[in-house]
Amino acid sequence: MATPAARLGIDMGSVSTKIAVVRDGAIQRTAYRRHLGRPAETLAIL
């Protein structure tokens, strides 16, 4: 039986970038970081 894929939620706001990884309805990981005007670079780090 195949393992279900995880889902990635991304919130890129004016001040910070946040992510959440969800698998089987349970949060596996979250991260929050202020991006200091560089949201794409911050997302790559997260």
Share of the chain above pLDDT 90, in %: 87
**pLDDT at residue number 1:** 62
**pLDDT at residue number 4:** 72
- Three-state DSSP at 24 gives coil
At residue 15, φ and ψ (nearest 5 deg) are: -120, -30
Q: Is the pLDDT of residue 3 over 90?
A: no
pLDDT averaged over every residue in the chain:
93
Give domain status of residue 14, yes or no: yes
Domain of 26 in residue numbering reads as 7-45
Give domain status of residue 38, yes or no: yes
Long-range contacts of 1-10 (CB under 8 A, 24+ apart): 10/43
**Entry pTM:** 0.77
| CA distance from start to end of the chain | 30
Strands 16-23 and 26-34: antiparallel
Give domain status of residue 23, yes or no: yes
Average pLDDT over every residue of 21-31: 95
Give domain status of residue 36, yes or no: yes
Average pLDDT over every residue of 10-23: 96
Count how many domains the chain has: 1
